[in-house]
Structure 1
Amino acid sequence: FILKSKQHAKELTRESIVETIQMYDDLYFKSKLWKDEFINHGFVNRVLITQVGEIKFKRRYYIAKDKQKNSNFFFIDSLFSLSKYSRLTDDAKQALVVLTSKNNASYAADNALWDTVVSRQTVSNILRELQTVKDDMPVIPEIMERYNQSVKTLYLEMDEAHCNLQARRNIVANLALIHTGHSKSNYACKRKQLENKHYLGGLNVNTTVFIDRIYDYISKRYNPKALKYVFISGDGAKWINSVSQKLKRCLSAHNIKVIQVLDKFHLRKRLTSIFSANNKMINYLLKNFTEITEDSFRLIADTFYKNKQEHKCNEQKFKNHVNYICNNYDFIKNLKHPEYKTSCSMEGHISHVLASKLTSRPKGFSKDTLETMVQLLILKANMHELSIEDLYAWRNHKATESAKSKKKTTHKRYKRIYDITVPLELTKSNNTKMKDFIKSLVSPKWFYS
């Protein structure tokens, strides 16, 4: 009974839409506003794919009496801003994009629309026509209510996800998380939650542009006069170090200290490889890194490697791990800073926000589709619901066409100079194939082909 009622409700919804379209079409026809300059050419069928399913209807076509002043049109298409060739409406595109960001394109193609299935390529084409979201600070109540908030310490965590392209190449999707630390302890739940989370990111970002977006968000979101510390944590990648150095220069005018910290997850991972999962040695080093110098750490690691005959790492890998620790030694010591109270949890965020949708399966994306997907996933993580207005704002109306060289044949170039009736000696040749070929070249059909 419930299934039948649900199906009946769907059919009633589609019928009501068709009746509404016909009502508006009849009202305009009876108003006679078109009669002075247009001629009614009768009905033309059209099929639209909406969020509630496929809709078939008829609408009147009006032909202009004077083509220089007016152009032919469908009143219904103009009234509802229906695209000339696309059958998918904007609400259907919105439903497909939202479900794609939550699951995947294949699932969205089969389940986003009522009683209608589209192809995965259709979903991919919709994603490609969306422009990259330039503004990573959506206007939502959570941010605007706490505008210019006063906090003492701010945390910036960064990491990247490696995604596969269709051209058998790998590309990096960068992600940054800004927050103000853990919320107050909830005794009913032992899990810690971050306060004032906000994600920023992009595909293979330019660090100069990326730091501008981070600085712009911090300056608008928080009060620079109250802010004293900004801790930047990550795995020590070059692009993270570059962002850290540039942010220091940006915030130096406000006397804000920018302190870079190495993620404890990557630190422990390297120590486990160096000391063959010797937990006593690893825990000792983690507690006393501030008292141990870089040279002392190298000596401890080398001595352990020489005395450990059954070490799992070969010599080159062992040196790489030790060099990684020594290159980030100052960042490791910053883990003991008295104001650093919230450890980095970026590995979990990169896994839930990007990796679960982009790298968990052996997919190969096109670059345009992947760039749109990254922005949609970041918006979803920022609790921003995609709307039809967003589609209007992000749709690329100016589709830049690649400049293609036009093929110009010589006959059109020299047609005004030479006449086709010029006598040629080759036409008198005894070679039949040659003669037929020359005749075909000087034929009038060749000039207009």
Structure 2
Amino acid sequence: MCTKNILELLSGKYTFPEFEEELHKLLTDLGKNVCWIVLKELDEKIYKDKKERKNWVVLQKDCERTITTKFGDITYKRRYYENKETKEKAYLVDKAAGIQRYERIGIGLKAEVAELSTIMSYGNTVEEIKRNGAECVNISRQTVMNTIKGMDGIKPYEQIKEKRKAQVLYIEADEDHIHYQDGKNGIVKLVYVHEGKESLAEGKNRLKNAIYFTGVYEGKEKEELWKAVWEYITSTYEERYIKRIYISGDGAEWIKFGAEYIPDAIYVLDLYHLQKYVTMAFKDEKKLKRALWKAIYKGDLEKVNEIFNDRYNSYEREGEKEVVKRVLEYIENNWESYSRYKEEIVGCSAESHVSHVLSERLSRGPISWSKDGAHKMAQLRAVKASGLELREKIIKQRYEELRPVELPKEVIYKAKQRIKKLNERYGTITELPILLNKKTFTSMAIKSLLQQSII
């Protein structure tokens, strides 16, 4: 976009939508230039501040690198150092800016990619980023996939300063079935912890302080899942106040393992899954099912056994008899905890949570995953389901240990003096660092626009 175009824009040759598009391109170019200037000045600051870089000596200068940001590709030059004591080699400006080795896209764009990919396909994520005005951003479907696979250690909760005090905690668990790229099927496990139900307006309920944990944990990996759950509980709640922790699920081995892993946890009868099993065993026998549920709610195990025995004897096929037998065993194995704590049990809604947290992205439609891709995607969706802003969480995790960018005082002083002179010449302007640079295409265009605006 040249100065002539800007002047023509202001003289009635462009419509407002065209003006908006051209301005967006201009500001994108501006953002890229500003980032380039900051990296250049930061590299200079590190080089000149020998106390700050004690023991680091320059091995090579003007080492070029390109990183893709929300403004497009930024190519900058920096110095390569070696530590005289440790012999470590590094680009110190990259360390200061939080740009990791071999990283091709910036963390801001990575966060944007992760946020979008949790609700749409990798291909649609690329299209959406470009549709949002970042046509110059050079990313592909493969870039999105690699970005998701590179997301590590993002917890679905924030560390709180003062631990909560809760007497009863509820843990519900279920799983989603997905397709792998090799044609096999896989399982994504979901566990969530909450403090029970709380009432909302219009008679609706929601789980209180629900936090979600999920991923592809196969075989012995299930211990990692439950370890993460227990770490959350001990870091968030005062353990001495907790009287009971209930775990409910469909009776799968990995869920029962959780009841053994979590100290003093009580595995309870999951009425939601039990209802599914009862339907399998009793089919359309509504009268028998009503009688069965009445006996369960009353705590009459003798009557429950009687109803199941009658149903077992009424079937002729072994497969039908086996279903009845398994459902009765499930009830009997969990009867003691149910009858003792049924007044405190709030019921299990795991299947609807599986649908909302996992299935909407991982298993609906003709989609297949790698194990790592499904694992990371599930965890990203768990972060969002837990009420956190995923984009902010990703950026914060990267920059928690970084110091703010600080340029030398003399650079800031000179910049302010130049801005002051520009203000005196053109009137009040936005303090844009790009205007302090030598005559570039962008700076000339903006200055022309400013000058024209005060004619």
Residue 182 of structure 1 deviates from its aligned partner by 0.9
Q: Per-residue CA shift, 1:56-109, capped at 9, x if unaligned?
A: 56x477999xxxxx9999886676465675542232222222322343322222
* C-alpha distance in 1 between matches for 2:90 and 2:280: 71
Q: Does 1:12 align with 2:30?
A: yes
2:229 to 214, 217, 220: 214
Q: Which residue of 2 aligns with 1:98?
A: 115
* C-alpha distance in 2 between matches for 1:56 and 1:240: 50
Q: Which residue of 2 aligns with 1:345?
A: 349
Is residue 40–residue 63 contact of structure 1 (8 Å, CA) maintained in 2? yes
Is residue 275–residue 305 contact of structure 1 (8 Å, CA) maintained in 2? no
2:308 to 289, 298, 321: 298
Task: Report how many residues are paired.
Answer: 364
Residue 132 of structure 1 deviates from its aligned partner by 5.2
Q: Per-residue CA shift, 1:18-45, capped at 9, x if unaligned?
A: 4445566788999999xxx97998x787
Is residue 137–residue 217 contact of structure 1 (8 Å, CA) maintained in 2? no
Judge which range, 359-368 or 349-358, deviates more: 359-368
Q: Which runs of 5+ in 1 are unaligned?
A: 65-69, 252-257, 307-314, 394-449
* C-alpha distance in 2 between matches for 1:31 and 1:245: 56
Q: Which residue of 1 aligns with 2:144?
A: 123
Structure 2 SS opposite 1:387: helix
Change (3 A) 1:22 1:277: same
Question: 5 Å matches for 1:375-414?
Answer: 375-384=379-388, 385=390, 386-391=393-398
Residue 390 of structure 1 deviates from its aligned partner by 2.6
The one-letter code of the counterpart of 2:369 is F
Is residue 80–residue 91 contact of structure 2 (8 Å, CA) maintained in 1? yes
* C-alpha distance in 2 between matches for 1:130 and 1:14: 25
Q: Which residue of 2 aligns with 1:170?
A: 185
Judge which range, 16-25 or 315-324, deviates more: 16-25
Change (3 A) 1:81 1:278: closer
The one-letter code of the counterpart of 2:129 is A
* C-alpha distance in 1 between matches for 2:281 and 2:216: 33
* C-alpha distance in 2 between matches for 1:229 and 1:27: 57
Residue 189 of structure 1 deviates from its aligned partner by 1.7
Change (3 A) 1:39 1:325: closer
Residue 303 of structure 1 deviates from its aligned partner by 4.9
Q: Does 1:198 align with 2:211?
A: yes
Task: Compare relative contact order (CA 8 Å, sep 6+) and give the higher one, 1 or 2.
Answer: 2
Q: Per-residue CA shift, 1:289-324, capped at 9, x if unaligned?
A: 232436413322135546xxxxxxxx3442232122
Q: Does 1:241 align with 2:256?
A: yes
* C-alpha distance in 2 between matches for 1:260 and 1:84: 46
Residue 346 of structure 1 deviates from its aligned partner by 0.7
Q: Does 1:48 align with 2:48?
A: no
Change (3 A) 1:80 1:227: closer
Q: Per-residue CA shift, 1:108-166, capped at 9, x if unaligned?
A: 22323622252111122223334455xx564345xx44x14132x22111111122222
Is residue 180–residue 371 contact of structure 2 (8 Å, CA) maintained in 1? yes
Change (3 A) 1:109 1:320: farther
The one-letter code of the counterpart of 2:344 is Y
Structure 2 SS opposite 1:288: helix
Q: Which residue of 2 aligns with 1:361?
A: 365
Q: Which residue of 2 aligns with 1:286?
A: 293
Q: Per-residue CA shift, 1:191-228, capped at 9, x if unaligned?
A: 21111212223322534444444333333433333332
2:271 to 261, 264, 273: 264
* C-alpha distance in 2 between matches for 1:357 and 1:298: 39
Structure 2 SS opposite 1:196: coil
Structure 1 SS opposite 2:204: coil
TM-score by length of 1: 0.68
Question: 5 Å matches for 1:53-72?
Answer: 53-56=72-75, 59=77
Q: If each structure's helix is expressed as a fraction of its own residues, which one has the higher value? A: 2
Change (3 A) 1:21 1:246: closer
* C-alpha distance in 2 between matches for 1:158 and 1:98: 25
Which has the greater radius of gyration? 1
Identity of aligned residues (%): 25
Is residue 132–residue 371 contact of structure 1 (8 Å, CA) maintained in 2? no
* C-alpha distance in 2 between matches for 1:213 and 1:25: 40
Aligned-residue CA RMSD (Å): 4.0
* C-alpha distance in 2 between matches for 1:94 and 1:367: 21
Q: Which residue of 1 aligns with 2:246?
A: 231
TM-score by length of 2: 0.67
Q: Which residue of 2 aligns with 1:432?
A: none
Q: Per-residue CA shift, 1:224-262, capped at 9, x if unaligned?
A: 333323222111112222322343xx22xxxxxx43223
* C-alpha distance in 1 between matches for 2:210 and 2:95: 43
